[in-house]
């Protein structure tokens, strides 16, 4: 694992941070990608403490030029090789359909769905060089189940599920596995700004999702759909 090269989007907090630290525990080299280099610096410090090597790469996944430049920078630092890609960046809010504007729809689309396509497309040569490699797309139970006030979010996560299913077949010959991860509600900072009465004590923890990703990497076969069990 010490030579394993990992790229995680949305790595500055929450699930992305937990995944980065889980790989760091195994000595991996982890490219930490997010918009805030300041927040990433703290995660890089934690990665080093956990036994890994952290690479800070500022990247706005909603901006195609930023993604292209960011992924290129990561691959250059990694010698052109990428073993694991984790498309984790995402946004969430409760917006009833009648209040959903085109601007809201496009904001969710750019971050929750299009970003996974962009990052994966830019990283493809690196993944091929790192074959056998693994792509993890962090979706949600909202890909499979509807929730009030979440029609747009559900649509994007369902789209991510479909993207994963097709991508898996396209990349099978390259020995690149593709897994879709389906967390339930997870207690992260994303809920700090979401209106509503949320029972955060009953939610999953980011570390729960990280363990499922780690287990999926070390599972024989496709590991196509990875559910995150609810907390006990």
Length reported for the chain: 232
Q: What are the catalytic residues? A: 153
pLDDT per residue as tens, the chain (232 positions): 558 999 999 999 999 999 999 999 999 999 999 998 889 999 999 999 999 999 999 999 999 999 999 999 999 999 999 999 999 999 988 999 999 999 999 999 999 999 999 999 999 999 999 999 999 999 999 999 999 999 999 999 999 999 999 999 999 999 999 999 999 877 666 667 666 676 767 778 999 999 999 999 999 888 899 999 888 7
- Residue ranges making up the domain that contains 78: 5-227
Residue 165 is assigned to a structural domain of this protein:
yes
Q: Does a structural domain hold residue 161?
A: yes
Query: Per the domain annotation, does 216 fall within a domain?
Result: yes
CATH number, position 200: 3.40.50.720
pTM above 0.85, yes or no: yes
* Tokens matching residue 79: 């010698």
Residue 172 lies in a domain: yes
Query: What is the C-alpha separation between 223 and 4, in angstroms, rounded?
Result: 19
Looking at the domain assignment, is residue 186 inside a domain?
yes
202 alpha carbon, distance to own chain's centre:
22
Does residue 232 belong to any structural domain of this protein? no
17 domain residue, yes or no: yes
Domain count, the chain: 1
């Amino acid at each position: 694992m010490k030579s394993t090269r990992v790229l995680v989007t949305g790595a500055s907090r929450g699930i992305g941070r937990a995944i980065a630290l889980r790989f760091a525990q195994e000595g991996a080299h982890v490219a930490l990608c997010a918009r805030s280099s300041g927040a990433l610096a703290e995660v890089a410090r934690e990665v080093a403490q956990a036994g890994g090597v952290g690479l800070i790469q500022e990247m706005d996944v909603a901006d195609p030029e930023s993604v292209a430049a960011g992924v290129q920078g990561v691959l250059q630092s990694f010698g052109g090789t990428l073993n694991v890609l984790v498309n984790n960046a995402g946004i969430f809010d409760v917006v009833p359909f009648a209040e959903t504007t085109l601007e809201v729809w496009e904001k969710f689309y750019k971050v929750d769905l299009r970003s996974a396509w962009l990052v994966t497309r830019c990283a493809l040569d690196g993944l091929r060089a790192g074959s056998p490699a693994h792509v993890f797309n962090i979706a949600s139970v909202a890909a499979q189940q509807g929730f009030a006030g979440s029609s747009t979010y559900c649509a994007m996560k369902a789209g991510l599920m479909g993207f994963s299913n097709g991508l898996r077949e396209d990349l099978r010959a390259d020995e690149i596995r593709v897994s879709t991860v389906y967390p339930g509600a997870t207690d992260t900072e994303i809920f700090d700004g979401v209106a509503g009465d949320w029972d955060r004590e009953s939610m999953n923890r980011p570390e729960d999702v990280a363990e499922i990703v780690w287990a999926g990497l070390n599972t024989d076969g496709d590991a196509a759909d990875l559910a995150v069990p609810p907390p006990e």
